[in-house]
Chain A
Amino acid sequence: MRGREGAKGRSVAATVGVWLVLGIMLVYVLGPLVFMVTASLMPASEVTRIPYRWIPNTFYWQNFWQAIRGNDGRFYFVRNMVNSLFVATAITLTTVVLSTVTGYGLAKFTFRGRKAIMLLIVATMMIPFQVIMIPLYIITTNMGMQNSYAGLIVPFLVNAFGVFLMRQHLLTFPDEILDAARIDGASEVQILWRVVFPSSWPAIATLAVLTFRTQWDNLMWPLLIAQSREMQTIPLYITLFAEEKFTDEGAMMATAVLASLPMVVLFLGLSRYFVGGARLFSAQKG
């Protein structure tokens, strides 16, 4: 009897301990997000008040107008937001198409040099962007793509990780379906377009979300290539906004909220594929 009560006491203590750790971590993780949202609705004087009031007195919507307008009133925020959306979408589309096509070629066809190509692509995955960034800068500048959409997009048309991911996914694709389509007289391109693409949707969505997110986050490359404010993207915009000495804190958080909206929408709509990126990856190697 006593042993059993002891065990029960231990398990209660364990539950409390677990929730204590989870609770502290929840505060650490969610606190800053709540801060961003509440501060975006406060005038600057309230954001920096001690102690911080987690609930705004009144909703100070002017912050959002200030964020959209910018400190100089030239609406670069809107322009840069459009740039980010356009660049990230374009890169996502090309990445998804090229990764699937290449992954399909590597997974379902036998040809001389296939193993070498696979090895080359896996090796490419290891290269940190900082290594190739300077040569890429020289190439794009020589091609006259500096400060243009082409310059922002071209170096990222497809990436090795995407090809690897789609190849791993398509390895499990049943050959019988492909052969059935061939017997029905479908050409290889038709099979790819009508059979492989539609039935790879979960992997494609995962890759798409991953690519879009990476590009939405990209600061390094636009920093090099987009000189004029018209061509800059959102990460650069926020960096510049924070640099300006007279930026007020409320407006800065309003900018942060607005800049996060596309990701929030994507996350709420496709959270399965957001999390799926991590899952798929661990399933490959684990």
Chain B
Amino acid sequence: MLSCEGDELRKNAHTRGICERRGRWGWAFVLPSLVFFGLFSIYPVLNALYLSFFQKHLLSTAPPKFIGLGNYVYLFHSPAFWNSLRATAIFTGGAFSLLVGLSLILAVFITSRRKFQRFLQLAFFSPAVVSTVVAAAIWLLIFDPRGIANQLVNTIAGTPGVDHNWLAAPAMLQLSTILVYVWKYVGYFTIIFITGIGSIPRSLFEAARVDGASVWQTFWKITFPLLKPTTLLVSVMAMIQCLRTFSTQYFFSQAGSPRAPIDVITLNVYYTAIRNFQIGRASALSLILFAIMLLLSWLQFRLARSEEVSYL
């Protein structure tokens, strides 16, 4: 009947009436969410930006004191900020590359099997069923000095009775948080990759097989180039998700691990705002995180755009 798209219908007096009435319904359907987003997303972002220029104690009733870029200047001179940036970079770098690399390998391997495909998909996805905090609780016991992480490493390396300080030594603690995170999310990204592989026309693989291409060649010449859009999607999602990590680090630091090596920006925001009550400074810190996320996403899109994909 009437789509109300385009200008011709609007010029006709009769149809314009219908379209305007229809348009009002559109507004009515959109309005409740719009009000909500305004109140609980847009206003808070602007408020955070505003707060980041002020010195404000969370519990004091004194009005916020304007200090311009004072919070940002403070942060750039604070060793704790640079430590957080380093902790975030290490965690995101490690978890991100493992997540993208492993899920791609798993997806290719799983789709290369004739049997057990569904079982393998569900098995790798299964850690996503437990919540992040439960995941951290399980791994807390695995990384215990008497836990199975030490037992496994000592059996393989032939070093009985050595404690590898999974939750105490800074580098090991960073590795531990990465292992927990990859454990939980690798299956999720594997499934996205599997969907991506599924959308590549089968005839291409068959043609390659007939031409005598090896598995290796098939991957590098067909699968990988054609998976570009999926790879971009996975890397943007994985990157943002890694930058947002909080629960694992919070849980380990609450359970007695040193905070500094895993004091990622999100954790630092929490401590600055809720434990130290410096909400202006915490807002500035959170906005820096936001800026990093936007910058990295933009970079990835830029890198990916250089080569567009076609199935020819």
Contact = CB atoms under 8 A, between A and B. Distances in A.
B223 interface: no
A132 B131 contact: no
Contact of B131 (A25, A182, A216): A216
Contacts of A139: 39-40, 43-44
B10 to A, nearest CB: 9
Interface in A179-199: 179, 182-183, 188, 192
Contact of B229 (A213, A249, A263, A285): A285
B141 A278 contact: no
B121 A220 contact: no
Which residue of A11, A110, A117 has the most chain B CB atoms within 10 A of its CB atom? A110
Contacts of A238: 133-134, 137
A93 interface: no
Interface residues of A, number: 99
Given A239-B254, A263-B130, A111 B24 contact: yes
B183 A283 contact: no
A165 B47 CA distance: 28
B33 interface: yes
B142 A260 contact: no
Contacts of A242: 137, 140, 251, 254-255
Interface string B94-126: 000000001001100110110000001111111
B139 to A, nearest CB: 6
A151 B42 CA distance: 18
A22 B106 contact: yes
B270 A109 contact: no
Interface in A74-112: 98-99, 101-102, 104-106, 108-112
A188 B112 CA distance: 49
B65 interface: no
Interface stretch (A30-38, A55-63, A200-208): A30-38
Contact of A98 (B3, B33, B125): B33
Contacts of A255: 137
Contacts of B91: none
Contacts of A183: 1
Contacts of A28: 183
A89 to B, nearest CB: 16
B183 A132 contact: no
A18 B129 contact: no
Given A35-B142, A101-B32, A110-B19, A282 B230 contact: yes
A29 B124 contact: yes
Interface in B219-239: 229-230, 233, 237
B289 A217 contact: no
Contacts of B25: 105, 109, 188
Nearest to B287: A131
A52 B147 CA distance: 8
A30 B123 contact: yes
Contact of A134 (B39, B106, B283): B283
A286 B106 CA distance: 19
B294 interface: yes
A48 B163 CA distance: 14
17 contacts: A26-B124, A28-B183, A35-B141, A48-B144, A48-B147, A49-B146, A104-B29, A106-B30, A109-B26, A114-B26, A120-B37, A134-B282, A192-B29, A274-B129, A278-B191, A279-B192, A286-B233
Interface of B: 1-5, 19, 22-30, 32-34, 36-37, 39-45, 47-48, 51, 102, 105-106, 109-110, 112-113, 120-135, 137-142, 144, 146-148, 151, 183, 186-189, 191-192, 195-196, 199, 214-215, 229-230, 233, 237, 240, 243-244, 246-247, 250-251, 254-255, 265-266, 269-270, 273-274, 279, 282-283, 286-287, 289-290, 293-294, 297
